[in-house]
């Protein structure tokens, strides 16, 4: 799951192994990502789309939760 708020993106993985694999294989150089625990990491919200694209390139399609835009409300 990828939860995007105003300034932070929270990624929650199904298992610690999937998070470890993601951290090893994704091109996260230059992104300020921080591991929070065995199954979670955070990154700046502006990095969320790049992380999502990288996951899609690996065939991983997380559920994405973003705040509603004003025009959608």
Tens of pLDDT, residue by residue over 8-41, are 888 888 889 888 887 887 777 777 788 899 999 8
Domains of the chain: 2-67 (3.30.70)
For residues 35-62, average pLDDT: 86
Q: What is the pTM of this model?
A: 0.70
Q: Tokens at residue 35, please?
A: 């591991």
DSSP symbols for 5-65: -SSEEEEE-SSHHHHHHHHHHS--TTS--EE-SSSEEEEEGGGHHHHHHHHHHTT----EE
Strand pairing category for 34-35 and 40-44: antiparallel
């Amino acid at each position: 799951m990828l939860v995007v708020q105003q300034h932070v993106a929270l990624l929650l993985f199904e298992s610690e192994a999937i998070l470890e694999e993601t951290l090893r294989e994704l091109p996260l150089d230059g992104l300020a990502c921080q591991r929070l625990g065995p199954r979670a990491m955070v990154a700046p919200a502006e990095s969320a789309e790049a992380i999502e694209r990288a996951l899609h390139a690996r065939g991983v399609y997380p559920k994405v939760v973003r705040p509603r835009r004003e025009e959608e409300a």
